Amino acid sequence: MEFLLVLTYALAIGLRAVNSQEATLVPAIITFGDSAVDVGNNDYIHTIFKANYPPYGRDFKNKEPTGRFCNGKLATDITAETLGFTTYPPAYLSPQASGKNLLIGANFASAGSGYDDKTAILSHAIPLSQQLQYYKEYQSKLANVAGGNKAASILKDAIYIVGAGSSDFLQNYYVNPFINKIYTPDQYSSSLVAIFSSFITNLYGLGARRIGVTSLPPLGCLPAARTLFGFHESGCVSRINTDAQAFNKKINSAATQLQKQLPGLKIAIFDIFKPIYDLVQNPSKNGFTEATKGCCGTGTIETTSFLCNPKSIGTCSNATEYVFWDSVHPSESANQVIADSLVFQGISLIG
């Protein structure tokens, strides 16, 4: 019954959009985070974390790599299409982030970044604090393009997406003895959630009112994590998944508190743990055949993008059969499943 109510509401919103002069349910999408949502900012900085070469993007429009860490669309791309967008908000550092293109939003995410600025520094990525500074620049540019009143309206009604945390654990905490010998996973996750709360508060102070935040995925099920940390464990690395679930519980609690403290704030934590975990545990149910390794390269040990490249040995011919594109990131087909889940979870933000 609850599902039917949600579906009816979603259809009603969709019909309202079709019948109105506005083609999209929200005026703009503004994104912060890591490689799960980066659409090409890392193409313009000095870092090894890049996806601007084949076979990345081989199933994307024009079969060209764009800097997305996927064979095709990210879950956020698919979500944008669901909301009525025919083009995607540009990577902020790209030449496309100018003029009228800014009216539909901008993407500030950077592969290798996280809530902890130290994570980004290790990867030479764009720290979350710097992403926020870029957003302030964007506000000024938007005002120049649209005028002050129109810009303020766009920023108020836009959807803000935050996707981070995976790099903090996989590329920093678990491999950095300077941190994991001092802090327990619980202590480290608490520090990340404190940064998250501060970031959301700052974003709210800059005008954001509708914010969707992705949870951590089942980190212990990623092919790279299985190889690097699984040892003799046959399936997902249970202790890492436990850490991810504990973090997710904390960030949900923090979001609830923020919504109480900040008048007019709508914030939703998008659960991506369950849909990805379900795909890994029962891939055939959703039409997949492989959930233990990625399509690109050997699909097991690559922890950075440069090991998935045009010379990668054994890249699969049909990525639709794989839950993971490389050793860390979902394939476009898996992203479709994730995006379908996000639509229903995000109705509270656009209602």
325 — pLDDT class (breaks 50, 70, 90) = very high
Q: Which residue has the tokens 């009228």?
A: 100
Q: DSSP secondary-structure letter at 65? A: -
Q: Which residue has the tokens 């709210």?
A: 204
Say yes or no to pLDDT of 211 above 80. yes
By the 10 Å C-beta count (0-12 exposed, 13-18 middle, 19+ buried), 90 is classed as buried
Q: Report the C-alpha dihedral over residues 172, 175, 178, 180, rounded to 10 degrees.
A: 90
Token pair for residue 2? 């609850």
Which residues, at least 6 apart from 206, have a Cβ–Cβ distance to it below 8 Å? Answer: 132, 135, 136, 139, 155
Domains of the chain, CATH where assigned: 21-285+332-346 (3.40.50.1110)
User: Among 116, 329, 331, 333, which one carries the catalytic annotation?
Assistant: 329
Number of other CB atoms surrounding residue 193 within 10 Å? 20
340 a catalytic residue? no
The C-alpha angle 131, 46, 188, rounded to 5 degrees, equals 50
Contact status, residue 122 vs residue 167, Cβ threshold 8 Å: no
Q: What percent of the chain has pLDDT over 90?
A: 83
User: Omega of the bond prior to 55 within 30 degrees of 0, cis?
Assistant: yes
Which residues, at least 6 apart from 116, have a Cβ–Cβ distance to it below 8 Å? Answer: 168, 172, 191, 192, 195
103 φ, ψ (degrees, to nearest 5): -65, -25
First to last CA, the chain: 19
38 a catalytic residue? no
329 a catalytic residue? yes
Token pair for residue 335? 């992203």
The rounded distance, in Å, linking the Cα atoms of 76 and 85 is: 11
The rounded distance, in Å, linking the Cα atoms of 177 and 183 is: 10
Say yes or no to pLDDT of 2 above 50. no
User: Among 38, 59, 271, 326, which one carries the catalytic annotation?
Assistant: 326
Contact status, residue 119 vs residue 39, Cβ threshold 8 Å: no
Give the pairing of strands 290-294 and 322-324: parallel
Q: b/e per residue, 108-126, with b = 16+ CB within 10 A?
A: bbbbbbbbbbebbebbebb
pTM, whole model, 2 decimals?
0.92
What confidence tens digit (pLDDT) does each residue in 110-128 have?
999 999 999 999 999 999 9
What confidence tens digit (pLDDT) does each residue in 65-90 have?
999 999 999 999 999 999 999 999 99
pLDDT score, position 307: 64
Mean pLDDT for all residues in the chain: 91
Say yes or no to pLDDT of 199 above 70. yes
pLDDT score, position 40: 98
Mean pLDDT of 314-323: 92
